[in-house]
A and B are shown apart, each in its own frame.
Chain A
């Protein structure tokens, strides 16, 4: 039987827009994954702590406030420090295309913009899982 994928959906920073995060969380759950949603206003430290504690395979980050360049890379760094660099990290939100190469160079596997179908995210996770 196929192993159940565990996902942490997280809102780093002070941004209060979580319609997208919640829709993604629900879509991933409907796709058969186990999903934990952190709620708002999480520091990168809190997110990594939750990821390690919950032993997740995936961390999905959402920011619409423009603080992504500061906060996304920090999550990847801290995961690495915690010895959890086999966790797949990707992000979404209002993120200018010009920022995406930088974020990818910092270990964010993919960045999804507004209008991305939830199925695209589901397929992406299944295809790019680092833990087998």
Chain B
């Protein structure tokens, strides 16, 4: 009997034996499913991978199709970048938090902006009232940006900025701050999120309609290819899609569909795919289903490399590499027994590392309650350091490769995500699918189904629908001083009174002319920020030319 025949016989016998056992001692639940509702079989074995081709499916780390990771050595060469998303109140307070994080061994910065900044309103705009400095730092002008990065040499850190609709303006401010530090743009290393499509479906900080938004994005691609070559010009984000309720499969599918839309827009704008695609980066979530999450990252890399090579004809290997940041899942945190969140975050962070992430943010235990306290942020960072230095997960690339279960999950996620991509192509691409509400509806259906499963106890959330305790309200939550708003408004008014307002008006007029035509918008935006024109003033010029996005409301 050959090895394979021997195995088949053993497996058949095993199944008979275990069917009998199950009849006597039933499984603890009627069906086993992953987080994305894929059935989980009783056993995974070589049978599940029969007929698969190792080199076509996996290849080697650092080689096409990059299933096993984008670098050959992965974390043996260099650990992932530990990058905690932070920012609150004023530029001064956020600057102090960044210095604290760098002193604790963090290796990159990640800037959170407040909502008025993200939506292109100055702090003295009526809609900014109550929101200033709440979910991030308030930035009105280059003056705030100079304070934010004061004493932090921009040629020594990489900085990620979660900014989308006004990304061009904040990037311009960053370039201008660097210039003042004597650091040229070509030395800058960092990322702007700059992903408007997921704002329409999941995150909500849009300003302009899709067409001019796509123009701003492709203008940034073109400008950075020449002037800021090491900058990640976009972070195509599944994170918020997942937080809004999508499953792991939908996260991959909708993110890659957005990615396809950006690549198509840039090619349509006349760029060569290999000129901009190496600077595309991605941003994914990590939830609790450890093996499915690892498989998700692996499947995403494989799908993207094939899309880039086969659909867009990319020749540069870097164009085919899906590099990504990961953040652990905010929506998985519970307000109940918040210390349990430390454990959830550890599992999720481990999934990201086993899945080959390039950088990682670990959430803090108290984030279902408030912005994280300094102590909570330190535990979150320490969680990454324990995985990096103690767990052994970083010692060899893609350590779960070859697991029958993980490879089967990787294959099934790929298959299900490709089916979604086909459906979105049939609808005319991601922009059309979003305009028609298809993506939003899919996400909302998943969110509602999840909630109902939790309420029926079909999904257990420890401390929430099982193992509850009576507990007192937690102490020591971070509170943003309500006077931050007034101080920021006063600072802005002083700026408006002290700058050269003639130069501001001239720069804004030049920006308007550029926006009405089809010139690249980055140079006039950079010129405007250098005159200390405010974010709101610059965005108002663009609102005047481009109009504003009006979403259709559904639930």
Contact = CB atoms under 8 A, between A and B. Distances in A.
Interface centre among A23, A66, A70, A96 (most CB of B within 10 A): A66
Contacts of A71: 130
Interface in A72-127: 94, 96-98, 113-115, 117-119
A94 B334 CA distance: 11
A13 B115 contact: yes
Interface in A1-46: 9, 13-19, 21-23, 25-27, 35, 37-41, 43
Interface residues of A, number: 37
A14 B448 contact: no
B131 interface: yes
Given A19-B244, A23-B451, A94-B369, A115 B464 contact: yes
Contacts of A97: 473-474
Contact of A41 (B127, B461, B474, B479): B127
Given A14-B115, A97-B473, A25 B130 contact: no
A114 B473 contact: no
Contact of B131 (A14, A38, A114): A14
A66 B451 contact: no
A26 B555 contact: yes
Given A14-B119, A115-B336, A22 B447 contact: yes
A70 B205 contact: no
B288 to A, nearest CB: 15
A96 B338 CA distance: 13
A96 B203 contact: no
B424 to A, nearest CB: 21
Interface in B115-136: 115-116, 118-119, 121, 126-131, 134-135
A40 B331 contact: no
B455 interface: yes
A69 interface: yes
Main secondary structure of the interface of A (DSSP, over half): loop
Contact of A16 (B203, B245, B369): B203
A96 B115 contact: no
Instruction: State the majority secondary structure of interface residues on B.
Output: loop
Contacts of A65: 115, 131, 134-135
A117 B455 contact: yes
Contacts of A114: 333-335, 368
Contacts of A113: 335
A27 B368 CA distance: 22
Contacts of B23: none
B551 interface: yes
B243 interface: yes
B34 interface: no
B199 interface: yes
Contact of B204 (A9, A40, A94): A40
A67 B335 contact: no
A19 B115 contact: no
Contacts of A14: 115-116, 118-119, 121, 127-128, 131, 205
B131 A13 contact: yes
Nearest to A115: B464
A15 B204 contact: yes
A67 B555 contact: no
Interface string B516-555: 0000000000000000000000000000000000010111
Contact of A38 (B203, B371, B464, B553): B553
**9 closest Cβ pairs, A-B complex:** A16-B204, A70-B130, A97-B473, A14-B115, A39-B553, A67-B130, A66-B134, A22-B555, A114-B335
Interface of A: 9, 13-19, 21-23, 25-27, 35, 37-41, 43, 65-67, 69-71, 94, 96-98, 113-115, 117-119
8 contacts: A14-B119, A17-B204, A19-B331, A94-B370, A96-B477, A114-B334, A115-B464, A118-B451
